[in-house]
Structure 1
Amino acid sequence: MTSATPPLPVRRPPDPPPRPAPDRRSVLGLALGAGGSLLLSACGGVATTGAGGGGETLRWGWDLPSSWDPVFSSKGWDVHLLSLVYSGLTQLDAKGGAKPALASSWRYSHDGRRLTFTLRRGLRFADGTPVNAEAVKKSVERGKNHPKSLIASQLTSIDTVRAPDAHTVVLQLTEADYQLPALLAGKTGMVVSPTAFGKDEARLATRPVGHGPFRLVSYTQNSMASLRRDPGYWNAEHIAVERFEAYPKPDETTALAALQSGRLNVAQIPFSQVEAAREAGFTVQLIPSMVVRVLDVNTAMKPFDDPAVLKALKYAVDRQALLDSEQFGHGEVDHQPFPPGYTGFDPALGAVYRHDPERARALLREAGHHDGVEVTITTAQPQGAPEQLQAQLNRAGFRARIEVIPEARASQVVYVQHSRALYLDQFAGRESPVQAMQVLFGAEGLMNPSRRTTPELDAAVAAVRRTPLESPRYPEVLRAATAVAVRTMPNVFLYTVPRALARTSSVSAIPSLPVVQRFEGVTAG
């Protein structure tokens, strides 16, 4: 749908009570999305200011959500804006661990098949509905059972949901699953007002009703979202920004101009502009993220149905050269699905497929491909990395060509129709590492184009699911699963993709969090 939705009427919440200044000790830095270039109008009485100007408004350019309803949201990056208006039972800390949010605590039964959450008291959704156990029960059941739910596949381990009293939610599980506190920290666990989806479910696509740090007060589809701080939010004392404005991302070449003109006060900039931004007087944060550049390989198609050809591919790629060319050296060469420093990253893997074109050639010859082998690099990126990758493969004995397809069709062609053998993509981690592995490697995984896996990997992932997050063994078990995935699955991981965040002097540093972006302690004036 491309037409603009009529804006919501502006609903002004009462002025918040005085609150203590944010604790700056915990403010680190997390990249925002690509900066927008739209000229801001005064929204809700907020005047537009120039670069470095004051005001309690954070102005952010990012892709507006595919839907404001988390059950029907179809894009992974929607989670960042949805987290402004919704909360889950849990949230993630800076290391990816689960900590309390709407739930103040939780506990598992001895066999891991019952998970009990205790809710905070006195909270309400944006429509005034109490955030109680019955509301959480109905919201979880909707995500699990709605015939059109896009999160149902992540909730299959939940058998039943009970609300024995107003502040207790009990999840009865089909098997021991200790990943749920992490999984429920993201879009899968966002709690929606049952009054809202019971009255007019379709309305949630443009008019979200949750309990979050902000409330949406006006929205024009594909144009602008204006939000105000909710003083009733469970963690409101740590939300300093009064107004939040989100805009569609512009062409990346205009990001600096948007900052200089005051259209935005925070912007994601391309790596090629990092030095220019610093020279212009902006603070630039290069923030590690969960995004890893990857070649997705379909082993059900030639030539990668031959294990020797697949192994040759992994040795043919010069990851450092690609990183230097594409990202001006910002990031790290990475042979696995998780970035260095994350719990699931296995340091013991090292450079398991170090660049070795001669070894690649030898593998191809041993497989009978003395004159090389033809391969098509499918990409939505017309220039840059695909061309360099083509040259690398050709030097290693392949005969590579490039096929460019529209980005809007890529998911359908590669991951639904399974009709391409090699696709240059990137993967953003999920709240739960098991969820990430299911998406990448599972037999039904969305980003597994061949829909093939191995019994060894299935067993390793199942062991992670059965291990409590707080167990001393958990990091070891998770890293073992990572090692199995890297050695047995076809994905060719390349390098990490940090976020280059430029901000004006009016905006303080933004917390560094692994997946879902939050804004505790951030000031914008």
Structure 2
Amino acid sequence: MIGETGVRVKRRILAVLTSVALLAGCVPVQTLAEPPERPDVKSVEADPSAFEDGGNLVMALSSEPDRLDPTTSSSLYTRYVMQTMCQKLYDIDENGEITPMLATKLPEITDDGKTVRIPVRDGVKFADGTDFDAEAVKTTIERGLNLEESSRAAELGPINSVTAIDDETLEVTFDQPFAPFTAALADRAGMIMSPKALDEEGDDFGDNPVCVGPFKFEKRIAQTSIKVVKDPNYYDADKVHLDSITYQIMTDANIRAANIRSGDVQVADTISPQDIDALDEETGIGLLQSNSLGYQGLTVNMGFGDNPENYESPLGQDPKVRKALSMAIDRTALVNTVFNGWFSPACSGIAPDSPFATDASNDCVDYDPEGAKQLLEDAGIELPLKVNMKVSNTQDTLRFAQAVQAATKEAGFDISVQPMEYTALLDAQDRGDYELLQLGWSGRVDPHGNLYTFHYPGAGNNVTGVDDDELSDLLTNASESTDESDRAELYGKASQRIGEINSIIYLYRQKNLTAYTEDVAGIDVYSDGVVHLSEAGFLKEDQR
């Protein structure tokens, strides 16, 4: 039974959220006390004989990718496109398990954990016709380590040397054991690039990327589309059904849904919770959904970038203020109302269904707006505290941002919401040109990729400026341990420490929601959020 105070709080939240929806001109929010169970549907499969040969599949992409360079990219949407043309040493399967891709089996690791040998495929060619071998793998890994603009260095760990033992064997030695290495090679750090193309293109590689894959890059029209075409050099070409794939940029969720309904696109990512129930009722449209390894959260500038005005503020400098902001947000109520119960609250960078999840990583700060306000008063803050929050300009993100804006007023915050185009928001993040911003992370199978890179000083995604010795030691020790239970315990302690610092305030986890027309099959969406189209194709008329 809910007490009188609890009833008043819930009523205030509902009133606030309803007002936000009406003011924003959005679909009215629907309150769900207990969201229904929604089991994962990760793949739409068909027998190989059911596919037609050829055709151009169009996918509606919810945001424009950044540069198509595996070494420097930081966008989930870039991974969508790269998935079809830049294969990795390893991949993840529908169960989140790491499986060989361009490698032939999982690495051989010495007992001390400092030497790793990776066997790679023979008889494989890049899209430019040159040979794929261990020397090419070495070139890619060293670029990830040494390129000044690399976003991969922290993911690759404390590498001492990289050696091509022969054409089919790569050896990597480490100064210290580095458990997340294989998982890193199941993402962009493991996308192997043509050494010839790297030599010819240099820093411009992302304008004309060349890798190993079922498809190869053809053209890009900025802010409009990216097209890839079937690569005749691909070693497993018999499994490729399509002639080409066009990724059409459609940032408006309503437009993506309309194009799926009309059949003008065959696949659309990031379907809005406002649209998905209606789409599910329509004939000829299918839906894929999978839980996410990632999160959405608030990133606080604590000292990153060249403009002190962005971080020399109570929010950036006082942990009490950041804790107050975290306490002021009722994650469950906001998620259930704004997203119709499709998403779930997040309290750390480790998903609850990860094998590394513990009670410590699942623990969440109590919602306590009165306590939050008291913290601000104890810190000597003049109320209301004005904060500028940059967000992407998508409908769902704006709905949530406006709900946070309204719901935190009770605790003494006055948050202004500044919408931006997604790539502009990424640029602002990377330059430290923000006080507070709302962005997410699609997630990695190893917690190192969700925590270390954001919270270790100098790491590629540490855009907050956080530098905490206790947290750094926990994250380093977790990466060096080869015992999964020890690593889980260390990541739990790290999650607790992050919850004290609040450089990132975790809010919710999306489901990966993808719609498709039922004249296509061979599509997968796993927990890393990437829509797999490499073996997609149109179905024969009698198979639809």
> TM-score range with shorter-chain normalisation?
0.7 to 0.9
Q: In structure 2, how many angstroms separate the alpha carbons of the residues matched to 1:381 and 1:145?
A: 31
Q: Residues 235-314 of structure 1 correspond to what in structure 2 (within 5 A)?
A: 239-241=240-242, 243-268=244-269, 269-281=271-283, 282-299=285-302, 301-304=312-315, 305-314=317-326
Moved more, 359-368 or 96-105: 359-368
Say if 2:98 is the partner of 1:98: yes
- The alignment partner of 1:462 has SS state of helix
Matched with 1:71 is 71
Assess if the C-alpha contact under 8 Å between 1:215 and 1:229 holds in 2. yes
Aligned with 2:374 (options 362, 387, 412):
362
Say if 2:449 is the partner of 1:435: yes
Moved more, 322-331 or 164-173: 322-331
Matched with 2:476 is 462
Amino acid at match of 2:209: P
Q: Residues 375-414 of structure 1 correspond to what in structure 2 (within 5 A)?
A: 375-380=386-391, 383-396=398-411, 398-404=412-418, 406-407=420-421, 409-414=424-429
Matched with 2:131 is 130
Matched with 1:338 is 350
Assess if the C-alpha contact under 8 Å between 1:183 and 1:431 holds in 2. no
Cα pair distance change 1:308/1:183, threshold 3 Å: same
Moved more, 500-509 or 480-489: 480-489
Aligned with 1:425 (options 432, 439, 462):
439
Matched with 1:524 is 538
Q: In structure 2, how many angstroms separate the alpha carbons of the residues matched to 1:247 and 1:490?
A: 35
Assess if the C-alpha contact under 8 Å between 1:377 and 1:390 holds in 2. no
Cα pair distance change 1:449/1:82, threshold 3 Å: closer
Matched with 1:58 is 57
Cα pair distance change 1:440/1:150, threshold 3 Å: closer
Moved more, 320-329 or 263-272: 320-329
Amino acid at match of 2:509: T
Cα pair distance change 1:134/1:326, threshold 3 Å: same
Matched with 2:15 is none
Amino acid at match of 1:92: I
Deviations 1:308-359 (CA, angstroms, capped at 9, x unpaired): 3332222111212321343222110111123331234334555521222232
Larger helix percent: 2
Q: In structure 1, how many angstroms separate the alpha carbons of the residues matched to 2:171 and 2:351?
A: 34
Cα pair distance change 1:456/1:377, threshold 3 Å: same
CA apart distance, 1:475 = 4.0
Assess if the C-alpha contact under 8 Å between 1:115 and 1:171 holds in 2. yes
Cα pair distance change 1:411/1:61, threshold 3 Å: closer
Say if 2:176 is the partner of 1:162: no
Deviations 1:344-383 (CA, angstroms, capped at 9, x unpaired): 43345555212222322333344455x6451314123575
When the two structures are superposed, what TM-score results if normalisation uses the length of structure 1?
A: 0.80
Cα pair distance change 1:58/1:472, threshold 3 Å: farther
Q: In structure 1, how many angstroms separate the alpha carbons of the residues matched to 2:255 and 2:339?
A: 18
CA apart distance, 1:250 = 4.5
**Root mean square deviation, CA, Å:** 3.2
Q: In structure 2, how many angstroms separate the alpha carbons of the residues matched to 1:256 and 1:351?
A: 36
CA apart distance, 1:230 = 4.5
Moved more, 187-196 or 229-238: 229-238
CA apart distance, 1:76 = 4.1
Deviations 1:374-421 (CA, angstroms, capped at 9, x unpaired): 13141235753333222222212x14131415345544545534651x
Q: In structure 2, how many angstroms separate the alpha carbons of the residues matched to 1:135 and 1:54?
A: 32
Q: In structure 1, how many angstroms separate the alpha carbons of the residues matched to 2:208 and 2:429?
A: 33
Assess if the C-alpha contact under 8 Å between 1:287 and 1:501 holds in 2. no
Matched with 2:13 is none
Deviations 1:145-181 (CA, angstroms, capped at 9, x unpaired): 3344443454452222111211111112232212111
Matched with 1:501 is 514
Assess if the C-alpha contact under 8 Å between 1:464 and 1:481 holds in 2. no
Assess if the C-alpha contact under 8 Å between 1:296 and 1:448 holds in 2. no
Matched with 1:481 is 494
Cα pair distance change 1:338/1:375, threshold 3 Å: farther
Assess if the C-alpha contact under 8 Å between 1:135 and 1:194 holds in 2. yes
CA apart distance, 1:265 = 0.9
Q: In structure 1, how many angstroms separate the alpha carbons of the residues matched to 2:514 and 2:75?
A: 22
Matched with 2:364 is 352
Assess if the C-alpha contact under 8 Å between 2:41 and 2:289 holds in 1. no
Cα pair distance change 1:234/1:431, threshold 3 Å: farther
CA apart distance, 1:113 = 1.8
- Structure 2 segments unaligned to the other structure (5+ residues): 1-39, 45-51, 303-310, 540-544
Say if 2:210 is the partner of 1:209: yes
Matched with 2:465 is 451
Matched with 2:173 is 172
Deviations 1:285-325 (CA, angstroms, capped at 9, x unpaired): 33322342212223454323333333222211121232134
CA apart distance, 1:520 = 6.4
Amino acid at match of 2:451: M
Moved more, 455-464 or 296-305: 296-305
CA apart distance, 1:480 = 4.1
Amino acid at match of 1:334: A
Say if 2:523 is the partner of 1:510: yes
Amino acid at match of 1:294: G
Cα pair distance change 1:59/1:70, threshold 3 Å: same
Moved more, 257-266 or 210-219: 210-219
Cα pair distance change 1:235/1:223, threshold 3 Å: same
CA apart distance, 1:493 = 1.1
Q: In structure 2, how many angstroms separate the alpha carbons of the residues matched to 1:237 and 1:306?
A: 59
| Matched positions, count | 474
- The alignment partner of 1:500 has SS state of strand
CA apart distance, 1:65 = 4.0
Assess if the C-alpha contact under 8 Å between 1:379 and 1:386 holds in 2. no
- The alignment partner of 1:77 has SS state of helix
Assess if the C-alpha contact under 8 Å between 1:28 and 1:509 holds in 2. no
- The alignment partner of 2:335 has SS state of helix
- The alignment partner of 1:121 has SS state of coil
Assess if the C-alpha contact under 8 Å between 2:227 and 2:244 holds in 1. yes
Q: In structure 2, how many angstroms separate the alpha carbons of the residues matched to 1:194 and 1:329?
A: 47
- Structure 1 segments unaligned to the other structure (5+ residues): 1-26, 32-52
Amino acid at match of 1:283: G
Q: In structure 2, how many angstroms separate the alpha carbons of the residues matched to 1:224 and 1:410?
A: 20
Cα pair distance change 1:429/1:167, threshold 3 Å: same
Assess if the C-alpha contact under 8 Å between 1:294 and 1:425 holds in 2. yes
Cα pair distance change 1:390/1:446, threshold 3 Å: farther
Moved more, 422-431 or 215-224: 215-224
Matched with 2:49 is none
Assess if the C-alpha contact under 8 Å between 2:98 and 2:183 holds in 1. yes
Assess if the C-alpha contact under 8 Å between 1:345 and 1:482 holds in 2. no
Assess if the C-alpha contact under 8 Å between 1:346 and 1:482 holds in 2. no
Q: In structure 2, how many angstroms separate the alpha carbons of the residues matched to 1:73 and 1:307?
A: 31
- The alignment partner of 1:71 has SS state of coil
CA apart distance, 1:80 = 1.9
